[in-house]
Chain A
Amino acid sequence: MLDAALSSIAFPLLPIFFLAQEGTEAIGGFSMASLLNQTLNGIGIVGILLLTGLGLAITFGVMRIINLAHGEFIMLGAYVTFVMQDWFGMDLLLTIPFAFIVTAIIGGIVELTIIRRLYGRPLETLLATWGLSIVLQGVVKLIFTAQLKYVKSPAYLSGNVLLMSDASGSPLIAISYYRLFIVAIALALLALTIYLFYSTAWGREIRAVTQNRDMAKCLGVNTKLVDMGTFAYGCGLAGVAGAVISALKTVAPPMGQDYLVDAWMVVVTGGVDKLIGILAGSLLIGEANAIIAFILNDPTARVIVLAAVIVLIRYKPEGLFTVQKRS
């Protein structure tokens, strides 16, 4: 099954390999080392995809809420970091818990006032969260204006890991500490989330509620509380993502839109049932993007990867990693 899925991705990518060979001659100095460097640096893209997709893996993957406001929770996290730095001069790392708490609280309020009334009605949820994303952008713009905001990255995370040297002694491979830090945070959060979902009573309740809401209710699970908690947790993770990437990217009201599409691609590709699927999804999309963009160019890579994901969904709508279920 997995092989079939992979070949369905590989098939549309075939022309690239031919193009790549032409490209090799054209660029000339296009060496294996720089491709290896790019592949390793692709991990940096993977880390950001994983981090920004993790919240959605919970709100959509677990709770099945079509959450188009996911990008705005990332944006809110980035603004919390901005405010904490600007007002209290905090270090970026210290602002991360605040980003989690604030976005989780806002997520909880959103669940209580909007999402709660729309369970089992995907179309309405889609409209409501889309509207919510416009409202959140507007509110942030009213408070902070449309100007780009400056977030200071911690000095101790600047610099690069250097590996291998060429003849002249300059390093062939360089990976920035900050990118590695993003990967580490993303993996730690993924591990924590998996632990919470599969090894704690709360996780068991969440899974019970999503699998059979009525039965869970009959057995005395407070489904409303579980729903709110889960949604708030998913939003909080988006907030952490926003806080961490704010130092590497741009902080502005529409910033979330950039991550929304990528997050959806990652979650859908990886498979919506298993949390671990998101790791596979972000690896696949991140590396595919990095390598194709290096051989061809960035806009083309985006088109090819998006097309590949569409083909994948056509043949494997449940994503790559799913449990076989009886329907």
Chain B
Amino acid sequence: MSNEFAAQLSRRRFIQYGSLALGAGVVAACSGGSSPGGGSADLGENPIKVGVMYSTTGTIAIVEKSLQDATFLAIEQINTGTGPWEGRGEGIAGRKIQKVVVNPDSNWDLYNQMSKRLIDEDQVVCVLGCYTSASRKSVLPVFEEKDSLLYYPVYYEGNECSSNVFYTGAAPNQQITDSIPYCYDNFGPKGFFIGSDYIYPKESNRIAKAELEKAGGTVVGDEYAALGTTEFITIINKIKAAKPDFVLSNLVGDSIPAFYRQFKDAGITSKDIPIMAYPTTEEEIQAMGPEYSTGHYTSFNYFQTVDTPENKLFVEQFKEMFGGNRVTNGVMEAAYLQTFFMAQAMEQVLKEGGELNTATIREATRGQEFNAPQGKVKIDPENYHTYLHSRIGRWKEDGQADIVFSTDSAVKPIAWSQALYKGRVCVHPSPDDRSDPTKETGKDLTPVFL
């Protein structure tokens, strides 16, 4: 066999393959490359260049494409002066946003390379993007080294505090801290924790475990499945054998519908063992079919059923732009609202006669407030995370959530998990000189509301 291969791989053939592979690489690079403008609309004089970095191909594309859609909707509304931007004129103080779109193909290394290119070659003033913690960790050194800004719209495991990232998704205390006592009170003390096998689910479950033990409960099982796995018969059997009061799921992506389907198929109803999940949103519920999720729970900052006039408008306009059968979810809402945080900060800088650069935008973004679909939210001026509402939804037959728990107003974010690092907080100096913001208070932090 090997002789055959060797004979076939003559020098000439090798050159042919080599050039073929090279050609394919070039094509891939081009198709994954940046597309300045991104739309046919006239951007007028002196547009503001903003990087949009979400994968539209590869395994994570399922989620990141919807984040890109929500971001595009926000940019469209800012450029045309509609939606929440009504009455502020077209663009930001007369200048429109020019989106520079890159596609990192769900490849963590490409996120790193493409963020370098956005900052160095395309000279964008800031970047909206990333979904997984792995991709954020991949680009973090780039943004810190080049002192640029990333707006990151995803609930994450916390324990990070950078002068170059604004975190507009939930910190642990805005998702885990309320949901675990809820499970303990309503379902019982025994939790079975599952998740996909990578950084976010493991960290998140570690924090949840500390919270559950603080409440007096126990973790009767802790299981992880390889990212992308769709075979859950073993984990489900272990759940059956351990007889927990509830399951906490941090499965992500394509694993979610497969797990809920096989869970019900194995004869376990939401009455027997309810599932509390963080990454399961309207989007995944639609894909699995609501009959599999009815009666299970998700803890998130936003649900499509949140009753605010801003949300009504957001859902309506999103469906108008991307199709009536689409649903909105919490991550999309964060991707949407952070674009307005960015735009408001830029407007403030321009109106004060300043120049758009990392330092001015950073200072202007601190403390920005916005009436988002989930309610009033604010960027915490100290730790660059976001005041968000903490909610728990119970899934109904129509695939939408019945909100069974909600804080009255947005909760102050705590970047460090207090169950793991008691008293550790993050306070950036003002103005930010990029010194280490970590402070040890040694005390229990009490919840602060907006």
Contacts and interface: CB of A to CB of B under 8 A. Distances in A.
A174 B266 contact: yes
Nearest to A40: B237
Contacts of B231: 45, 48, 249
A216 B286 CA distance: 53
B178 interface: no
B287 A141 contact: no
B261 interface: yes
Contacts of A302: 226
A148 B234 contact: no
Contact of A30 (B17, B56, B241): B241
Contacts of B436: none
Contacts of B287: 147-150, 250-252
B62 A150 contact: no
Contacts of B234: 38, 41, 289-290, 293-294, 298, 301
Interface string B201-230: 000000000000000000000011110111
Contacts of A127: 17
Interface in A121-158: 121-123, 127, 131, 138, 141, 145-150, 152-153, 158
Nearest to B5: A123
A29 B235 CA distance: 16
A253 to B, nearest CB: 8
B62 A297 contact: no
A158 B62 contact: no
Interface string B252-268: 00111110011011110
Nearest to B56: A146
Interface string A183-216: 0000000000000000000000000000000000
Given A176-B265, A258-B230, A298 B224 contact: yes
Nearest to B69: A145
B240 interface: yes
Given A30-B241, A176-B265, A145 B65 contact: yes
B230 A148 contact: no
A45 B240 CA distance: 17
A150 B399 CA distance: 12
A148 B257 contact: yes
A282 B56 CA distance: 35
B272 to A, nearest CB: 10
Interface residues of A, number: 53
A147 B283 contact: yes
Contact of A252 (B62, B242, B265): B62
Contact of A38 (B229, B230, B237): B237
A294 B238 contact: yes
A160 interface: yes
Given A29-B241, A147-B283, A248 B261 contact: yes
A178 interface: yes
Contacts of A250: 230, 254-258, 287-288
A148 B283 contact: yes
Given A30-B241, A34-B240, A252-B254, A258 B229 contact: yes
A254 interface: yes
Judged by DSSP, the binding face of B is helix
Interface in A1-53: 27, 29-31, 34, 37-38, 41-42, 44-45, 48
A299 interface: yes
A247 interface: yes
A160 B61 contact: no
A254 B224 contact: no
Of A123, A138, A149, A252, the most chain B CB neighbours within 10 A belong to A252
Contacts of B62: 146-148, 252
Nearest to A149: B287
A293 B232 CA distance: 10
A152 B289 contact: yes
A20 B9 CA distance: 48
Contacts of B199: none
Nearest to A155: B291
B344 to A, nearest CB: 31
Contacts of A251: 287
B57 interface: yes
A61 B241 CA distance: 39
Contacts of A30: 241
Nearest to A124: B8
A289 to B, nearest CB: 8
A148 B288 CA distance: 8
A290 B65 contact: no
Contact of B228 (A123, A147, A248, A258): A258
Contacts of A258: 228-230
Contacts of A96: none
Contacts of B230: 249-250, 255, 258
Contacts of B235: 298
Contacts of B61: 141, 146
B333 interface: no
Contacts of B257: 148, 150, 249-250
B243 to A, nearest CB: 8
B233 interface: yes
A34 B5 CA distance: 50
A89 interface: no
Given A148-B254, A250-B258, A298-B234, A123 B225 contact: no
B404 to A, nearest CB: 25
Interface in B17-60: 17, 24, 56-59
Contact of B233 (A31, A257, A290, A299): A290
B139 to A, nearest CB: 22
Contacts of A174: 240, 266-267
A249 B258 contact: yes
5 contacts: A37-B240, A37-B241, A38-B234, A42-B233, A48-B231
Q: Which 9 interchain pairs have the tightest Cβ spacing?
A: A148-B287, A293-B234, A250-B254, A34-B241, A249-B230, A160-B267, A146-B61, A250-B257, A176-B265
Given A146-B56, A146-B65, A250-B257, 17 more contacts: A37-B237, A123-B9, A138-B57, A141-B57, A147-B65, A147-B283, A150-B286, A150-B289, A152-B289, A174-B266, A174-B267, A176-B267, A248-B262, A250-B230, A250-B256, A298-B229, A299-B225
